[in-house]
Amino acid sequence: MSDSQSSSARALAPRRHDEILRRLAADGSVGITELANFFDVSRETIRRDMKHLAERGQLDLVHGGATLFEATEPALTERSQENAAGKAAIGRAAANLVEDGMVVFLDSGTTTLAVAHALTGRQNLTICTTSLVIALHMCRQPHVRVHMLGGEIDPSEEAAVGIDALDAIGRFRIDVAFLGGGALSPDGEVTDFTRNGAEQRSRMAATAARAYFVLDSSKFGRLTPLRIQRFELAAGIIVDAPPPAAMVEALERKGPKVIVGE
């Protein structure tokens, strides 16, 4: 960048800062790519703007952008009734990928709980899960064996987390895994709220013969702090509605295919 261009960028910085804060107040989050395109500047310029505002305590930095509020996921009980019809559609699409006799990993979460409900009637399944709610539901089904993966229980998620849960994942041969996630970012990455969640999902995506993320449309374009490493090893992302075309294109360039439930 020339000296004149650098001076111009600095002069325009206050206007960019005001627009970033305006969008945060309206939408709760902003993305680096959309702002770079809007201002016709580099992504690095927007990163510097966001870092400046974060240092002043005006926003929180997350992967791919910034959020006005601390990025934490609501408790399981709060999420259980959100978009129930969409999650049921995802559950049915996921269940169609399961054959009798398979070993299936079900992650914790309300969308994977919908998958568990859709598996009713399958025969001779072995279910591995970190979720207390899913384990309780599946152990009441005939012809199903359930392995509850151990660890410390996260009260808000009602599921096992931590080192013990990570160790337990490696003991099983998984035919198919259905995994949750915090968001599908604007640049086509599955991200998460916590380090524990991101690490468990990363490990299962790499371990299972086939893995699918199950994300309802409320997760599209959201920004959460942590990348799920190796998420691109998943066979697909099962959703209840088509994501924006640019998001699908970015995602499928990385590998996973989009499957829309009905």
> Over 90: is that where the pLDDT of 24 sits?
no
Ordered domains of the chain (ranges, CATH): 13-67 (1.10.10.10), 74-260 (3.40.50.1360)
Q: Give tens-digit pLDDT for 77-105.
A: 555 567 789 999 999 999 999 999 999 99
* DSSP tag of 220: B
What's the pLDDT score for residue 4? 43
Q: Give tens-digit pLDDT for 160-184.
A: 988 898 898 889 999 999 999 999 9
> Over 60: is that where the pLDDT of 6 sits?
no
What's the pLDDT score for residue 27? 75
Q: How far apart are CA 223 and CA 185, in angstroms?
A: 6
How much is the average pLDDT of 39-46?
92
For the entire predicted model, the pTM comes to 0.74
How much is the average pLDDT of 15-36?
84
| Helix (H) or strand (E) run with residue 260 in it | strand 257-260
Task: Say if residues 258 and 249 touch (Cβ distance below 8 Å).
Answer: no
What's the pLDDT score for residue 2? 46
CA atoms within 13 A on the CB side of 19: 14
How much is the average pLDDT of 211-226?
90
Q: What is the dihedral of CA 258, 250, 223, 64, to 10 degrees?
A: 160
DSSP-assigned letters across all residues of 99-128: -TT-EEEE-SSHHHHHHHHHTTT--SEEEE
Higher pLDDT, residue 139 or 59? 139
Q: Which residue, among 142, 55, 160, has the nearest Cα to 100 in the 3D structure? A: 142
Higher pLDDT, residue 119 or 67? 119
Q: Percent of the chain beyond pLDDT 90?
A: 59
How much is the average pLDDT of 69-83?
56
> Over 80: is that where the pLDDT of 25 sits?
no
> Over 60: is that where the pLDDT of 8 sits?
no
Q: Give tens-digit pLDDT for 111-163.
A: 999 999 999 989 999 999 999 999 999 999 999 999 999 889 988 889 998 88
How much is the average pLDDT of 41-56?
89
> Over 50: is that where the pLDDT of 3 sits?
no
> Over 80: is that where the pLDDT of 69 sits?
no
